Amino acid sequence: MRLVRGERLARWIFMLIVCVAVPFAIAARAQQRNAGGTTRVAPGKPKTRPDLARFATRVAAALGEQHAAKAAWGIIVVDQATGETLYERNADLYFTPASNAKLYTSAFALATLGPDYHFRTTIESASPPDASGRIHGDIVFVGRGDPDLSNRKFPYMQKAERDGIPEKVIAELADGVAAKGVKQIDGDIVADDSYFAYDPYPEGWSVGDLYFSFGAPITAIDLDDNTLTVAVEPGEHLGDPAALAVEPWAAYETFGHDVTTGPSASKQRFSVVRQPGPNPILLRGSIPLGAPPAKLDLALNEPAEYTGRLFKLLLAARGVRVVGGVRVQHGAPPERQSDGSTSLVAPPAPSIAVTDPVVLAEHTSPALLESIRMLNKISQNLHAELILRTIAREKTGVGTTDAGVAIERDFLKAAGIEDGDAVLADGSGLSRQDLVTPRATAQLLEYAAQQPWGESYASTLPVSGEDGTLEDRMKGTAAAGRIHAKTGALEHVRGISGYATTVHGARVVFSMFMNNNPQPARDTAKLFDAICVAMVEEIQPLPPSPRRK
């Protein structure tokens, strides 16, 4: 059918509108998506380039391994200069991140509290000592979430080092009280950890985690990571009770133990179980006759109470008599809502709160950046939880995990992460309720790199073949020293996300997760390392655009 002149003109006008309006609409949408100066890692097919084709072939070979092929994989690699996706596989699906959740917590902390934030721990009383050195009342050990009330050395220099006794900071606080001329305390030692609500374990932590150092309870008084180290030595004869040495030394009575000396040809066997009574952790097992000492790290039960008792002993050793006993002042527990979440309303102040206290001694932590460096390098769970709750307390007055997670959602939106692409229930990644997408994690890393603290943030991540949880990985390969990334591991879960500089000079952001694989950690680490090496060896920077004549 032929068109008359008017119909041809109308069709021509319609086509003109489509050709002009559609590109403008697409551009406007992209501009809206990138508002606020954050470049969003957008979905899209990776470019067809020989280097990327080679990389994809090597990834396929790694994932074709028998056990890897049965697992769920999510991978994304992004050009840091342009934000273009270079490779992706299931980048928009949810994965359990394990300790990759610490990337979110540490970026959130640097953006919210700042790299120079300091934690403060004080020993307080209602009045100063009188002329005879006597305090007429209690003294209060006030914790505010400092993750490093220990003997750790700062700054971190390629490995975590310690200097002195584990209770070093507590001893220094006792020195400070004695230096103020205090000779006698008529009241009690009060261990006040009410800076946080009393809620030692976040949602989604496994019961089996709670016995060990990586599942230590979260309290505003954190003594040496709320962990005790037990050194077990065999007795002189078969069947003798094993000899136990404990650090901190005063923690010996905080757990039960039933460990014997087994035959010299046997293997050491240890298990940790719950038991009723005041010391709910029971260490059981055997160690072979003539074997070298074995060391185990256990969670410290009731760390605030233990710190108070230790502090009293340290004061006595310095000639300070405490007439009263030791008691704990916990914060009010959070109120649970019908949906399982906790109230974001500030709890009432503790009854021991003093309006204008006298500070007898105090300890100030290293800068937050140094704490985060330690956190990310060695993947310290408790420190991540303490920092998340500190953000919540400082910004909302409510020191709970839920309050921290609630304001973290606003931070993620500002970072360009779509609502729901990162669902976090804690700060460390120990919770099995955490879910993130590889694209959201890459977007977080892209955002962090653009911030004033971006270089400092990247410097807190383990370096391949050099330090932290990557110290022994990728050594002797092209990737050694070129990967700055956070690892993650839970049962059947592995991950690694961070930054890489290839041998060709390209800078990329990447995130890789594997869920549902029962293989040992050493075997799955080889798969991730193979992909990282391929990424470093193959990916090239974008060629410069040709100049216009």
Task: For residue range 353-404, list pLDDT tens digits in order.
Answer: 567 899 999 999 999 999 999 999 999 999 999 999 999 999 999 999 999 9
Helix 368-378 to helix 381-396 angle, to the nearest 10 degrees? Answer: 150
The reply to whether 333 and 188 lie within a common domain is yes
- Give a yes or no: residue 9 inside a domain: no
Same structural domain, 378 and 509: yes
Amino acid 29: pLDDT: 38
* Domain shared by 441 and 513, yes or no: yes
Task: Flag whether pLDDT at 37 surpasses 60.
Answer: no
Separation of first and last alpha carbons in the chain: 47
Final residue in a domain of this structure, among 268, 299, 330? 299
pLDDT for 519: 82
Per-residue pLDDT, 33: 39
Q: Does residue 28 belong to any structural domain of this protein?
A: no
Residues 203 and 336 in one domain: yes
Same domain as 219, residue 259: no
* 73-113 per-position pLDDT tens digit: 999 999 999 999 999 999 999 999 999 999 999 999 999 99
How many residues comprise the chain? 549
Of 346, 366, 386, the last residue of a domain is 366
The predicted model scores a pTM of 0.86
Give the range of the structural domain holding residue 326, as residue numbers without chain letter. Answer: 118-223+300-366
Cα–Cα distance measured from residue 376 to residue 468, given in angstroms and rounded to the nearest whole number: 8
Tell whether 400 and 480 lie within a shared domain.
yes
Q: How far apart are CA 2 and CA 481, in angstroms?
A: 70
Is 451 strand, coil or helix?
Answer: coil
Q: What is the reported pLDDT for 208?
A: 82
205 and 350, same structural domain?
A: yes
415 pLDDT tier (thresholds 50, 70, 90): very high
- CA dihedral defined by 396, 397, 399, 401, rounded to 10 degrees? -20
Q: Is there a domain that residue 6 lies in?
A: no
Distance, in Å, from the CA atom of 352 to the CA atom of 67, rounded to the nearest integer, reads: 58
Residue 214 lies in a domain: yes
Taking all residues of the chain, what is their mean pLDDT, rounded to a whole number? 88
Decide if pLDDT at 21 tops 50. Answer: no
Classify residue 456: in a domain, yes or no: yes
Q: What is the pLDDT of residue 47?
A: 61
pLDDT at 410: 96
pLDDT grade for 521, boundaries at 50, 70 and 90: confident
Range in 212-216, 338-342, 420-424, 438-442 with the lowest mean pLDDT: 338-342
pLDDT band at 520 (very low <50, low <70, confident <90, very high): confident
CATH number at residue 142: 3.50.80.20
* Total domains, the chain: 3
Q: How confident is the model at residue 249 (pLDDT cuts 50, 70, 90)?
A: confident
Same domain, 346 and 453: no
Q: Are 162 and 147 in contact (CB under 8 A)?
A: no
**Mean of pLDDT values over 505-510:** 97
Could you tell me which of 294, 277, 276 has the C-alpha nearest to residue 285?
294
Q: Which residue has the tokens 């056990």?
A: 67
Lowest pLDDT segment from 20-34, 327-341, 439-453, 507-521:
20-34
End residue of a domain, out of 271, 299, 327: 299
Q: How confident is the model at residue 480 (pLDDT cuts 50, 70, 90)?
A: very high
Question: Within a domain: residue 35?
Answer: no
Query: Based on the domain organization, do 192 and 337 belong to the same domain?
Result: yes
3-state secondary structure of 74: strand
The reply to whether 239 and 257 lie within a common domain is: yes
Q: How confident is the model at residue 276 (pLDDT cuts 50, 70, 90)?
A: low
Give me the mean pLDDT over the 417-428 stretch: 95
Do 213 and 342 belong to one domain? yes
- Cβ-based neighbours of 36, under 8 Å, separated by 6 or more: 414, 416
pLDDT, tens only, 312-359: 999 999 999 999 999 999 998 887 666 666 666 655 556 555 678 999
Question: Can you count the helices (H) and strands (E) in the chain?
Answer: 11, 21
Nearest of 429, 455, 456 to residue 441 by alpha carbon: 429
Percent of the chain with pLDDT over 90: 73
- pLDDT band at residue 549, thresholds of 50, 70 and 90? very low
Does residue 313 belong to any structural domain of this protein? Answer: yes
The pLDDT value recorded for residue 285 is 92
Same-domain pairing of 75 and 154: no
Strands of the 139-142 sheet, one edge to the other: 326-329, 189-192, 139-142, 120-125, 358-364
Residue 126 counted as domain residue: yes
CATH of the domain at 390: 3.40.710.10
